Copies of this chain bind each other. A is one copy, B any other.
């Protein structure tokens, strides 16, 4: 915290108007803003639900005198290991965009037009319809994408369905927005598939959306086409939106190919959350997106897309020159890069799976087929 200069502090205070230095340190109760800090949503979200806060706490609890090495199994960020450096083409594209000097300006709230257009084209290649640039909203990483969709949907009295296990930033952001959370279970014995029946039992007329994470974080499971179709059908039946978190999209190495939820956007509208972070191993670049996968234009008609635009107009943005590099990143990154990264992930996942099986207090009910933050869950200790 701040400390007074040994000589300068008092003198400077006297300089002002002669009485600045006369105050004793005020006790906290005199300050009206002190009431702003309660054990409320902010503390709960930031302290107990934030994956970062939990990680920092775990790190801080390690005894530095203990000679045993600490393996960061819950690191979720391979970029710190030299083998996982991003594609040379991607790095070059960002450096070139910076060097033009023309992309230091404020971006449009929803993102640079060229970047939105390039991403619409890129995502459309896996869909049975074409996205336009108006369907794309660039965000400062997947974190801001989650913030946008939760903030836009949160209304008093409504609730949202979240997977358990899942990524706790959804719970944290819902707590900040006073959006009620209801959890549905993933079934380990069925490859962490969603318990579809439970969705119907916990939803009601105030349910606004459900979140599906595919490949799942933290389980590393990849959903089949058939399972995703069932999810879309139940969302349609319940009248809810599907938020498809696909930040690990395409990072798969098992038998199941990655199918984007947007393939079923004609059944129920889908807001897809994506990011450069995982596939390009650049979480620190903070470039993510929300894509409206909704060929029937229901999100446009219900003005959900207008709300997203409104929200982004008063929010921060991804750095403009990184946005400016997006068309080149998407176009120039070679298939060999992705193959090499997926190969590395598969190899390390195999080692982890094999070794964890021998640890008695941990069970791993389903071998991961996608990159994920954690690959196992505790059983009886």
Contacts and interface: CB of A to CB of B under 8 A. Distances in A.
A266 interface: yes
Contacts of A311: 42, 46
Contacts of A172: 314
Number of copies: 2
B20 A266 contact: yes
Interface in A234-273: 236, 238-241, 263-267, 269
5 nearest A-B pairs in the assembled complex, by CB-CB distance: A46-B310, A12-B128, A284-B320, A50-B313, A140-B316
Contact of A284 (B33, B105, B141, B226): B105
Given A98-B94, A239-B30, A225 B314 contact: no
Interface size class of A (residues with CB under 8 A): 35 or more
B286 A140 contact: yes
A218 to B, nearest CB: 16
B134 A295 contact: no
A230 to B, nearest CB: 8
Contacts of A365: none
Nearest to A139: B316
Contacts of A52: 106, 108-109, 313-314
A98 B93 CA distance: 11
Contact of A26 (B2, B173, B296): B296
Interface in A41-63: 42-43, 45-47, 49-50, 52-53, 56
Given A229-B17, A264-B20, A283-B104, A294 B2 contact: yes
Interface stretch (A297-305, A331-339, A349-357): A297-305
A341 to B, nearest CB: 13
Interface stretch (A183-191, A192-200, A206-214): A206-214
Given A30-B239, A33-B302, A304-B33, A132 B1 contact: yes
A302 B50 contact: no
Contacts of A82: 101
A321 interface: yes
Interface string A142-160: 0110010001111100100
Interface string A100-124: 0111111111000000000000000
